[in-house]
Amino acid sequence: MKEQIYTIPVLDAFKSKHECPFCQLYETLERNSINFTLGPSYMEGDVRTETNKKGFCLPHYQMMTKEKNSLGVALMIHTHMNEVHTHLSSLLKKEVPNKGKSSLFSAFSKKDSGEENLHPVQQYLNLIHNSCYICDQIESTFNRYVDTFFYLWKKDDSFSKLVEECNGFCLDHFSLIYGIAPKSLSEKQLSDFYKLIVPLQSRHFERVIEDLDWFIKKFDYRYENEPWKNSQDAVARSIVKVAGVSKS
């Protein structure tokens, strides 16, 4: 029963006619996370500790400012800025970067970050720039959805039929499942998987190119009186196909 928390949304996304079922899942998680963050929860201590520390990425700041809770956004940014200011001020009191002596700061470096040569001030600012409370909330559940996708592929024979009938994927999520598959599937399962998803992706990529082609033709007077066919929303759908909706 616990599995249904993940399997139901995955199955629903694959039944939808979205240009990428994973983008559909991402969009739902993003919407839920924004609603949660701007709901009563932002006044709760543990949530605020996290938002103060992480802040948000630019797309999520922009999405939140479009919601009807500018006080909530202001309160979260205010305490986040205060925390950043306090931490940054203390780092800025330490030594400034030394000309040609990057190793001087090795004592402050994080071994696993690959940022050994950066000054602690830069390391901290990079961390702040790349951290987002909403992105982090989305990520853990999204990763479970990806695991569930492969789980269903292995355990449920009818799932491959559902995948075959979907509209393919955005480039980013195609790359994701294309790359993860060898870690999740046996050799035989892997061969069946690629036999299905590679032509599927190609077919649907071409379909969207054709829709876009027809959309462009409709601006030519010779096609003026022709029907729009499936192309009226071709620009929005083609952007999903090439750019997806997630930042990952």
- Report the half-sphere exposure of 68 (CA within 13 A, side-chain side): 0
The most distant pair of C-alpha atoms in the chain lies apart, rounded to whole Å, by: 71
Q: Return the DSSP state at 166.
A: S
Q: Is 132 in the site for Zn ion (CB under 5 A)?
A: yes
Contact window for Zn ion (CB under 5 A) among 14-22, 42-50, 154-162, 180-188: 14-22
Q: Is 23 in the site for Zn ion (CB under 5 A)?
A: yes
Q: Give the DSSP per-residue string, 139-162.
A: HHHHHHHHHHHHHHHHH-TTHHHH
Query: Burial level of 220, CB count in 10 A (0-12/13-18/19+)?
Result: exposed
Binding mask 207-246 for Zn ion (x = CB under 5 A): -------------------------------------x--
Q: Is 177 in the site for Zn ion (CB under 5 A)?
A: no
Q: Is 60 in the site for Zn ion (CB under 5 A)?
A: yes
- Contacts of range 183-189, beta carbons closer than 8 Å, 24 or more positions apart: 184/147, 184/150, 184/153, 184/154, 185/150, 185/153, 185/154, 189/153, 189/154
Dihedral angle sign, alpha carbons of residues 105, 109, 111, 112: negative
Q: Is 10 in the site for Zn ion (CB under 5 A)?
A: no
Q: Is 57 in the site for Zn ion (CB under 5 A)?
A: yes
Give the shortest CB-11-to-Zn ion separation in angstroms: 17
Give the shortest CB-212-to-Zn ion separation in angstroms: 18
Here the tokens at position 32 are 């839920």
Q: ∠ at Cα 67 (135, 60), nearest 5°?
A: 20
How many residues form the binding site for Zn ion (CB under 5 A)?
11
Give the shortest CB-92-to-Zn ion separation in angstroms: 26
Give the shortest CB-187-to-Zn ion separation in angstroms: 27
Give the shortest CB-51-to-Zn ion separation in angstroms: 11
Contact window for Zn ion (CB under 5 A) among 30-38, 61-69, 107-115, 131-139: 131-139
Give the shortest CB-73-to-Zn ion separation in angstroms: 14
Of 13 and 134, CB closest to Zn ion: 134
Which residue in the set 25, 29, 38, 135 belongs to the binding site for Zn ion (CB under 5 A)?
A: 135
Site residues, Zn ion (CB under 5 A):
20, 22-23, 57, 60, 132, 134-135, 170, 173, 244
